[in-house]
Chain A
């Protein structure tokens, strides 16, 4: 009598377990699949959820920025109140090695995408932006070190460049957080 009761108890326990798995197993498989797909499409990537940032200096408005591994372009509107020249390349003491350029630095990896200087020292390469106007600046040659620009994810960059206004040169340290396009 006791033995029969025990076996019934054991049998019902395993039956419960089996029925539970049968009932909820499908749901578990479905949920795992959905979660896997969400992970695959970076839905749970916290960094990618943060809003895009493109900030230069008050008066210099970053309207749009597109970063690719190997090149980037930025559209800047001048609201300073005077015409400005954005310096995309400048030789210092006639040497290209000391030259000033537009420089996009990946804050995590330290990789740099910068404008290349021309072959003729002494020149200053500028993009003139009249007051109230917008211009697109394209930097197409990032040099060799662009391995850290992982495409498909949002990344944080510093954008450093110089601009000239009324004969005075100022440095800009901009901040960019955006997708690196594929």
Chain B
């Protein structure tokens, strides 16, 4: 009986010590992973944006009817994409808006050429594998999704 209780107590002590060591490590790992996911998502969008602008500049200088397609893996979290350009500027900005209700971050990629995203639908920027078609037009470069 005495030996049994000793075994139980020693078991509890060993398991308890392991628990005390493992729990903070799990907490650290989890919190670090969550913050890294956000960072990776933003970096992915930035890379996709830069690829789109580079391809757009390529087809723009080749002229009509040049066309290029990009296979991209859109991360979750993009809720809007827009093209902005201040008055008096020839260049434009391709802006991806990333985040959720509590956090939003614009990801800005400058473009040397005019971009047109009128044909880009919300499903073209939702999470998953997408094909973005980039084609030269008279008014610049047109971006659209391929279903």
- Contact of A141 with B by CB under 8 A: no
Would A175 and B35 count as touching, CB distance under 8 A?
yes
Would A166 and B91 count as touching, CB distance under 8 A?
yes
Would B104 and A173 count as touching, CB distance under 8 A?
yes
Main DSSP-derived SS at the B contact region:
mixed
- Contact of B86 with A by CB under 8 A: yes
A167 to B89, CA, bound (A): 8
Closest to A170 in B: B106
B93 neighbours in A (Cβ, 8 Å): 165-166, 168
Least CB distance from B2 to A in Å reads 13
Would A81 and B110 count as touching, CB distance under 8 A?
yes
Would A80 and B39 count as touching, CB distance under 8 A?
no
A165 neighbours in B (Cβ, 8 Å): 93, 108, 110
A58 to B31, CA, bound (A): 21
A80 to B87, CA, bound (A): 20
B144 neighbours in A (Cβ, 8 Å): none
A-B contact pairs, 7 of them (CB 8 A): A55-B39, A57-B105, A57-B108, A58-B42, A82-B91, A82-B110, A168-B85
Chain B interface residues (CB < 8 Å from chain A): 24, 27-28, 31-32, 35, 39, 42-43, 45-46, 84-89, 91, 93, 95, 99, 103-110
Chain A interface residues (CB < 8 Å from chain B): 46, 49-51, 53, 55, 57-59, 80-82, 165-168, 170-173, 175
